[in-house]
Structure formats: C-alpha cells, structure tokens
C-alpha cells in the first residue's frame, strides 16, 4: 500500500517530463502509423463538397475565413493548409478573410507560402480580403455585396481591379464558406450567413468545440466539419492521395498523429493509475 501512497504524491514535474518524452520520442523517431489514416465521415463530407465545386460554374469560389488567433494555430493550421492545397489543386478561386484581427496575418503567411509552392498568383487565384470590424455586420453585409464590406483588398487595391473577383458578387457566387476557428465564430456563420443567405458552410474547429457542433451537423446547417489536428491529418491524406501522389509535400498533421495517439494513451493511463492510487489509499485510511 505504501507504493500507492507514494505514487499518489508524485511530484507534478515528473508527470510533465513523462508527457514531454511521450510527445518528443514519436516525433524524433518519425514513427509512422501503419496503414492509411481513415477519414471520419465529417471530414470526408468537406472533401467531397470541395470536390464537387465546379471552378467554372456559378458557385465557383470558396470563402476561407481564418477565424483563429495564434493561440490555437497548431491545431488549425494543418487543416487550413490541407484545404488550401485541395482548392489550389482544383483551381478554385479563394477569397480569404478573418473575423478576429490576428487571423489576417496567419492567413497571409499560409497563403504566400502555399501559393509559391503551387505556382498560384495573388489576385488571379486568390485574394486576401483582410479584416473588418463588427463580425455580424461583416457576415450579413457580404450577403448583399462583398465589395461593400471590403472595398479594397488587404493591401488597398480596389477589388474590382483583381481578376479573381470577376463575377463574384456575394454569397450566391460562393460554393462554400470554410471557417476555421478556435472559438465560437462558427455560430456566427450559421446564424448570419447560412440562415439568411443559404450558402453552404463548413467549419474547421479545435477539438474542444467538436462535441458542441454536432447539433448543427445533424441539422445539416454545416455540410461538414474538420475536428482538430486529427482531421488535419485525415484531410492531408485525402488530398495527397488524390492530387499529390508523386509529390513530396509536408504533412504537418500526419507527422503529429503518432505523438497524439501516444500522449492520449498516456493520459488515459494517468487517470486510471490516479484513481487506483486514490481508492487504494482511501480504503486504507
């Protein structure tokens, strides 16, 4: 029984070190999970929807809203990159905006890097709209006329001078609104874009909000969802298998997956051990 008691009083820093080791080792050893990552149905839904967007049709563009701060960047960036790669591979025009102010520069960083990798050109294949205050007024206003909300792009060029905006006027010309958020901005897109203007909306979220989003998935208010880093890995896999089979692209999420599995397992073990030690020592006293 002494063993359990001592285990119960273990220093928290030892636990920290165990977790750190469990995260670092699979990353360094570049452990690869056997088999392919199986995509969850919600992820597949998003992929299929983007597959079915016709880059020459009416609803031909995707509006990407980078609604996250640096705080949740590690979870959402793999998703964002995978979706952007997918859209670039299919030549879908992309409009990029942000509801929280810091999202703009995260978007710029990702897009400048990926555009160079994929030979895409600013103003022709994508446009950074930037940020405007009052999220509700921004989302609702874009349903009327995008240029009314964003008269110019992020760098001050009038939108009418950018070829990518040709024929894209409001949500009627948008095939999908893809919102990436670490907070509850997804609700705004349901309330103020999907409900009044009936534009398809999907969301990429941190795992924290995943369970809360299910009611909206059940009611088809979201056409799909990307759930945390795991979904980033799944989407990367789907995109790579279809478009980049022979190309070497950096799969941020896939690389992280073994470490994620290992650390979750360790945490489960911690809970079990902690409970055993708790009840063992309590019975004694």
Partner 1 sequence: MKRRIPLTLTLVLGIVMMIQFFIPHQFSQDFKNTALEWLRVIGGFAFIIGLASFITHHYTKIKHKKEGWAYSPIALGALVVMAVVGLIGRSPNMNWIPVTVQGQQISVFTYLFSNFFTHMMIPLGATMFSVLAFYIASAAYRSFRAKSLVSILLLVAAFVIMLAIIFYNVLPLGDLGEWLLSVPNMAAKRGILLGASLGGIATSLKIILGIERGYLGGTK
Partner 2 sequence: MKKWVPTVIFLAVAVVLIVLAIVFLPVSKSVWVWIAALLTLAIFSILYRDNPIYRIAEHIFVGLSLGYGLAMIWHLALWQIALRPLFVEGRFILIIPIAIGLLYFTRLIPKVSWLVRIPISIALGLGSGIAIPLIFQATIFEQTKASLVLPEMFAPGNPWPGIWAIILIIGIVTTLAYFFFSRKEKSVLSPVSKVGIIFIMLGFGATFGLTVMSRVSLLIGRVQFLLREWLGIIAQ
Partner 3 sequence: MFFLLLPFLLTQAEVVSPPERSYDPGMDVAVLAGEVDTLQAMLTQVTGNQVEDLEAHMSSMFTRVYTIDSILKVLMEPEELIVEEIQPPANVKVEDVRNDVGNQLVLRWNLSPDDSLLDGYVLYRAVEGKQEFKQIQVLPPGADSTNDNNDLLARMIEYGRDEIASLRRNLPRAKRALPKLKQDAAKFPQADSLVPGIKNNLVAIILGYRRNTVRQFELDMETAKRNAERVQIKIDSLRGEITAEQTEVFTEHVNALASGMVDLQSMVQEDLPPGAAELEALAEETSKLRAKIQGTTVYRVQKLEADLANLEAEIASLESMIANIAFIEEADLEEYAKSRTERMQGLIEDSEGKLLKNRLSYRYKVVAVRGDLQAPSELSAAASPSAQLFHTQRINVLVAMIFFFSLVTFFISQAKRGKNLFLRKIAGLEAIDEAVGRATEMGRPILFVPGLSTIGDIATIAALNILQGIAKKAAQYDTPIIVPNRDPIVYTVAREIVKEAYSDAGRPDAFNPDSVFFITTSQFAYVAAVNGIMLREKPAANFFLGMFWAESLLLAETGNISGAIQIAGTDASAQLPFFITACDYTIIGEELYAASAYLSREPNLVGTIKGQDWGKATIAGLLIVLTVLAMFGIEFAVKLLTTV
Chain residues in the site for partner 2 (CB under 8 A): 13, 16, 19-20, 23-24, 27-28, 30, 71-75, 77, 101-102, 104-105, 130-134, 136, 140, 149-152, 154, 156, 190-192, 194-196, 206-208, 210-212, 215, 218-221, 227-230, 250, 252, 255-256, 259-260, 263-264, 267
Residues 144-203 that bind partner 3 (CB under 8 A): 158, 160-161, 169, 172
Give min distance, CB of 35 to partner 1, in A: 6
Q: Which lies closer to partner 1 via its Cβ, residue 47 or residue 62?
A: 47
Residues in Cβ contact with 248 at an 8 Å cutoff, skipping those fewer than 6 apart: none
CB contact at 8 A, 82 and 239: yes
Residue 273 binding: pick among partner 2, partner 3, partner 1, none (C-beta 5-8 Å cut-off by kind)? partner 1
Smallest separation (angstroms) from partner 3 to the CB of 262: 5
Cβ(78)–Cβ(252) under 8 Å?
Answer: yes
Q: Which is nearer to partner 2, 229 or 239 (CB)?
A: 229
DSSP assignment of 24-49: HHHHHTT---SSPPPPPHHHHHHHHH
89 vs 266 by CB, closer to partner 2: 266
Q: Which of 196, 272, 238, 188 is nearest to 37 (CA)?
A: 238
Locus of tokens 């995008």: 146
Name which of partner 3, partner 2, partner 1, none residue 44 binds, using a CB cut-off of 5 to 8 Å depending on partner kind: partner 3
Q: Which helix (H) or strand (E) holds 128?
A: strand 126-131
Transcribe 55-92 into DSSP letters: TTSSS-EEEEEEE--GGGHHHHHHHHHHHHHHHHHTT-
Helix (H) or strand (E) holding 204: strand 201-205
Is 268 buried (19+), middle (13-18) or exposed (0-12) by CB count in 10 A?
A: exposed
Contact 149, 138 (CB under 8 A): yes
Q: How far is the CB of 264 from partner 1 (least distance, A)?
A: 5
Residues 34-53 that bind partner 3 (CB under 8 A): 34-36, 38-39, 44, 48
* 262 contributes a contact to partner 3 by CB under 8 A: yes
Contacted entry of partner 3, partner 1, partner 2, none for residue 274, CB cut-off 5 to 8 Å set by kind: partner 1
**Does 249 interact with partner 3 (rule: CB under 8 A)?**
no
Number of H helices, E strands in the chain: 12, 6
**Shortest Cβ 245–partner 3 spacing (Å):** 7
Could you tell me which stretch among 79-87, 122-130, 223-231, 240-248 binds partner 3 (CB under 8 A)? Answer: 240-248
- Under the rule (CB under 8 A), what is the footprint of partner 1? 8, 10, 12, 15-16, 18-20, 35, 37-38, 40-41, 69-74, 102, 105-106, 108-109, 132-134, 136-138, 140-141, 144, 148-149, 155-157, 210-212, 214-215, 217-218, 230, 260-261, 263-268, 270-271, 273-275, 278
What CA–CA distance (Å, rounded) separates 123 from 113? 15
Among partner 2, partner 3, partner 1, none, what does residue 15 contact (CB within 5–8 Å per kind)?
partner 1
| Nearest C-alpha neighbor of 27 from the set 272, 228, 250, 262 | 262
15: number of CA atoms within 13 Å, CB side? 13
């Amino acid at each position: 029984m002494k063993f359990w008691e001592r285990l119960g009083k273990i220093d928290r820093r030892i636990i920290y070190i165990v977790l750190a080791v469990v995260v670092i080792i699979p990353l360094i050893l570049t452990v690869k999970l056997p088999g392919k990552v199986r995509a969850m149905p919600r992820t597949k839904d998003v992929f299929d929807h983007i597959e079915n967007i016709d880059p020459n049709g009416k609803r031909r563009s995707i509006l990407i809203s980078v609604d996250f701060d640096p705080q949740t960047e590690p979870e959402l960036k793999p998703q964002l990159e995978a979706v952007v790669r997918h859209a670039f591979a299919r030549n879908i025009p992309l409009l990029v905006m942000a509801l929280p102010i810091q999202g703009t520069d995260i978007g710029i960083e990702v897009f400048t890097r990926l555009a160079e990798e994929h030979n895409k050109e600013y103003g022709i294949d994508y446009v950074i709209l930037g940020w405007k205050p009052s999220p509700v007024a921004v989302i609702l206003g874009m349903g009327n006329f995008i240029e009314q909300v964003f008269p110019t792009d992020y760098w001050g060029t009038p939108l009418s001078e950018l070829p990518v905006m040709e024929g894209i006027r409001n949500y009627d010309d948008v095939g999908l609104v893809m919102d990436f958020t670490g907070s509850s901005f997804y609700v705004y897109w349901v309330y103020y874009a999907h409900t009044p203007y009936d534009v398809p909306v999907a969301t990429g979220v941190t795992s924290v909000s995943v369970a809360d989003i299910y009611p909206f998935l059940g009611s088809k208010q979201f056409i799909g969802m990307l759930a945390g880093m795991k979904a980033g890995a799944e989407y990367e896999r789907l995109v790579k298998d279809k478009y980049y089979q022979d190309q070497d692209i950096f799969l941020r999420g896939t690389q992280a997956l073994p470490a994620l599995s290992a650390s979750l397992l360790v945490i489960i073990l911690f809970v079990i051990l902690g409970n055993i030690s708790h009840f063992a020592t309590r019975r004694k006293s």
